[in-house]
Amino acid sequence: MQFISNISAFFRRRHANRTNNMTTPNESGDNIPKDKADQLRYALLHAIEQAPADVLLLSGGLDSSMLAALDPKIPGITVVLEGRGVDLRHAQQVAEYVGIPNWYPVEISLEKAFKDLPEIMKLNNTYDIAIKNDIPVYEGLMYAASLGFRCVRTGDASDELFAGYSWLHQMSDDQLKHWMRTAVPEIRLPSSQMGKVMNMHMSYPYLSQTVWRLALKLEPQDNIIELQTDKPGDFSQQFDPYLRHSKKWGKLLLRKAAEGLLPHDIVWRTKTPLEYGSGMYTIEADLEASLTDEEEQQLKESGKHFWNKAHGKLYIMFLESGLTPRQPRSGEYACTWCTAGVIEGRHHCATCGAYPSNVPPKPGVFEKDYPME
């Protein structure tokens, strides 16, 4: 144990040497650097200083790892599906490198992940197939609360601000700038509602006004670069035939800002959605396998549309939890997949996950094609 303590102290001292010379912008702004990467570091430092937190949800991806590097004094929590998540080793690497005093790796069972789903559905009134991303966040918040922490920091919204998503790379410069101005301010994070219900305060440094203002000044080339590498810039692009062979990487400026603060392979880690890094994506096969013939018939009679059978199973669980899609209010239209209300101007349904939610789906119950039985 003494050996481990000495190693941890060594990493903390080494990281402190890298960050001691970094100061937050003063009121006059005369100490703000001209280099954009340094400006981003300073903006994030300012955001962290303005919103202290008790603990960080650390996935080991670039976004949360950068926050750990800039404020290594607070503990970190990493949640994965037992025996299936790769985030654990990345987060451990970051925790040791920056010298986090207490890092809590949490592995949950498949059974526990299934039990969490109805609770998350109730918190956010959703059966979106992307709910798999919310399981490690939910468990992380629960674990933080069990340790007595009340303010939780996350790396959410970095992908939106710095073009982490591969589909953003396909936009023209004008389209991307317009999206940044109009869509980003409308971001609604599932963790925000979960934290509110749990009486936890959520801290999002990437959504601070300081970072947001800097992001708005950037050109697309500040964030997007084409690299000749076999690794994808976005893990999800392999599932899109139009993006599968793209060589573009996002978050270039954030990667530059992280150089020297994080290990090279973390700085250039492929953007990996939480459901994949945590291993939660594997429950999709279990959800699909658990759908009974009777439940599938219920889906066919529901008049709703689903991505696949796993999505249909989530809808069954949604109904069994006593939930129904909320009907449109003033300023909303009815989702073409589930009839839930979607705010005018948006094209993603927060209830069912349909996209685009304003366009009729293809005929049939499932978006995915299944062999005729």
- Is pLDDT at 162 greater than 50 in this prediction? yes
Mean pLDDT of the chain: 90
Element (H, E) at 77: strand 76-81
More confident residue, 242 or 218: 218
Distance between CA 325 and CA 116 in Å, rounded?
20
* pLDDT given for residue 12 in this prediction: 47
Rg (alpha carbons) of the chain, rounded to whole number: 21
* pLDDT given for residue 20 in this prediction: 54
* pLDDT given for residue 362 in this prediction: 94
pLDDT tens column, 50-108: 999 999 999 999 999 999 999 999 999 999 999 988 999 999 999 999 999 999 999 99
The ranges assigned to domains in the chain are: 2-277, 291-373
Distances (CA, A) of 198 to 119, 150, 193, 334, 361: 12, 9, 9, 30, 36
Q: pLDDT band at residue 235, thresholds of 50, 70 and 90?
A: confident
Average pLDDT over residues 320-337: 97
Tell which CATH architecture fits domain 2-277: 3-Layer(aba) Sandwich (3.40)
- Is pLDDT at 11 greater than 50 in this prediction? no
* pLDDT given for residue 65 in this prediction: 98
* pLDDT given for residue 345 in this prediction: 83
Q: pLDDT band at residue 17, thresholds of 50, 70 and 90?
A: low
- Is pLDDT at 10 greater than 50 in this prediction? no
* pLDDT given for residue 29 in this prediction: 42
* pLDDT given for residue 197 in this prediction: 92
From 113-122, 124-133, 163-172, the region with the lowest mean pLDDT: 163-172
More confident residue, 185 or 337: 337
* pLDDT given for residue 181 in this prediction: 85
- Is pLDDT at 39 greater than 90 in this prediction? yes
Q: Are the C-beta atoms of residues 141 and 191 closer than 8 Å to each other?
A: yes
Residue 270's Cβ-side half-sphere holds a number of Cα atoms within 13 Å equal to 19
pTM above 0.85, yes or no: yes
